[in-house]
Amino acid sequence: MSSAKGLDGVVVSATNISHVFGEEGRLVYRGYEINQLAAKATFEEVCFLLWNGHLPKRDELDTLNAALRSRRTLPPAAELALRAMPKEADPMDALRTVASAVGAALPISGKPSYDQAITLAAIFPTIVAGFNRLRSGRDLVAPDASLGHAANYLYMLTGEKPPENHVKSLDTYLVLLADHGMNASTFTARVIASTESDLASCVVGGIGALKGPLHGGAPALVMDMLDQIGTADNIKPWIDQTLNSGGKLMGFGHRVYRTTDPRAEILRDMARQASTPEFFALARGTEEYAIEELNKRKPERRLYTNVEFYSASVLNSVGLPRDLFPSTFAVSRVAGWTAHVLEQMVGNRLIRPQSEYTGPQGLTFVPVDQR
C-alpha cells in the first residue's frame, strides 16, 4: 500500500455542494459559478443555497432572514464563557471556546439539522464581535434585528450603523468564502460528522482546522508583509531579498488552483474600489512583481494570487482588526461546514482511512530496571 502525502489526489467523498476546478480557475456552488453569486446574491441567499440545494424564493428567504435575525443572542452560559476569556486570547480561540459553550448551553445535540445550522450561523458574528469589544474594555452591543447578517456584524463591532459600502464589501466577502470544496476544515467537520457526533462538535473541529496559518490564518500575514514593504518603490528590492534568502511571500499559491483563484480576481476589483489609491498601488504592484518573480524562479509550481491576498485588503478597508480576519473567515465558512455535515448525514458511513505503517516491528519488551 502506498500513501498519498496530504491525501493529494485522493477522492474522499462525493458532494454536490461545491467544487474547485483547479486547472480552469473556477469555483462552483450548487451549479452556480462564483461570479454569478458574488455582489449579486446576499450571504443569506448563499446560506440557503448551500443548505437546501437551490436559491430561495422570496418567501423562503424572508423565513430564513427572520430565523437568522432572531437567533443572534448568546445563551447566558455562553456569554459567561465569552466574558471569562482572557483579553489577550487569540480571537479564534475565543470563537472555538464560546461556540462549544453555545453547543452545550442550547443544547445542540442529536442528529445535525437544518434548524441547528441556522442557529450556529446566526450566532458566530455575535461571538467574534463580542470578544473584540470585551478585550478592548467596551461592553457588548446587542444584535439589531433590523440589519442583515453582514451589517449586523459590523454594527456589533462598532456600535454604529455601518456605511453601505462597508456592508456590501463584507457581504460579498462572506459569499466568496462560504464554501470551497473538500478543504481541510470542511474535511475535519465531515470526519467528525461521520462518527454521528453533534453539529456543534463538527463546527468546533472546523474552527480548529481553520485556525492554522496554512488554511485560514494567512490574510493577516499579507497585511504584515505589505506593511514591511511599505511603498511601491520598495516592492522589487523587498521581494528579491525575501526570495533570495529563502523567505516566503504571503498570499500566493494554492493546493488546488493552477491558475488565478477566481475569488482573488473578484476581491481585487473590490479592493481597488475600497482602498486608498496608495494602498491599492502597493498591493497590486506587489502582486504583479511577485507573480513574475515566482514563476521565473519556480515555473513548475504555477503560482498565482490566492484568496488571502486581497481578502486582507478588503477586510482592512471595512475596518476589521487584522487578527479578526481568520474568525471573520469562520463567520462565512460556518455555512459550508454545516452544509457538508448535513450532506454527510445522508447515507453516512464512518470515515476511517488506512495508514501506511513505517515504524519498527519485532521488538522485545524489557523491564524498566533492565533498560
196 and 237 share a domain? no
CA pair distance 91, 79, nearest whole angstrom:
15
Residue 148 lies in a domain: yes
**Does 338 score more than 70 pLDDT?**
yes
45 and 161 share a domain? yes
Q: Residue 275: pLDDT band by 50, 70, 90 thresholds?
A: confident
225 and 139 share a domain? no
190-217 per-position pLDDT tens digit: 999 999 999 999 999 999 999 988 777 6
What's the domain range around 280?
219-317
**Which of the residues are catalytic?**
254, 308
C-alpha cell belonging to residue 342: 448535513
Residue 2: is it exposed, middle or buried by C-beta count within 10 angstroms (0-12/13-18/19+)? exposed
What is the pLDDT averaged over residues 337-350? 97
* Amino acid, res. 352: R
275 and 293 share a domain? yes
Q: What are phi and psi of 341, to 5 degrees?
A: -65, -45
64 and 183 share a domain? yes
**Does 79 score more than 80 pLDDT?**
yes
C-alpha distances in Å from residue 274, one per residue of 111, 136, 271, 325: 42, 26, 5, 17
CA pair distance 313, 279, nearest whole angstrom:
8
Residue 158: is it exposed, middle or buried by C-beta count within 10 angstroms (0-12/13-18/19+)? middle
Residue 137 lies in a domain: yes
**Does 9 score more than 70 pLDDT?**
no
299 and 329 share a domain? no
Q: What is the domain-level CATH number for residue 27?
A: 1.10.580.10
Q: Residue 75: pLDDT band by 50, 70, 90 thresholds?
A: very high
- Residue reference for cell 428567504: 61
70 and 201 share a domain? yes
117 and 192 share a domain? yes
Question: Where among 317, 332, 366 does a domain terminate?
Answer: 317
Total domains, the chain: 2
Q: What is the pTM of this model?
A: 0.92
pLDDT number for residue 348: 95
Question: Where among 317, 332, 356 does a domain terminate?
Answer: 317
Average pLDDT, the chain: 92
Residue 143 lies in a domain: yes
Highest mean pLDDT of the ranges 21-25, 55-59, 179-183, 269-273: 55-59
Residue 100 lies in a domain: yes
Residue 371 lies in a domain: no
328 and 208 share a domain? yes
Helix (H, G, I), strand (E, B) or coil at 19: strand
**Does 179 score more than 70 pLDDT?**
yes
Q: Residue 163: pLDDT band by 50, 70, 90 thresholds?
A: very high
Residue 308 lies in a domain: yes
Element (H, E) at 140: none
DSSP code, position 26: E
Q: What is the domain-level CATH number for residue 232?
A: 1.10.230.10
Residue 56 lies in a domain: yes
Range of weakest confidence among 3-7, 138-142, 146-150, 227-231? 3-7
Contact, 225 vs 250, CB < 8 A? Answer: yes
CA pair distance 250, 225, nearest whole angstrom:
7
- Residue reference for cell 507573480: 291
280 and 311 share a domain? yes
110 and 253 share a domain? no
Contact, 173 vs 315, CB < 8 A? Answer: yes
259 and 156 share a domain? no
Length of the chain: 371
Residue 200 lies in a domain: yes
291-308 per-position pLDDT tens digit: 999 989 888 777 788 788
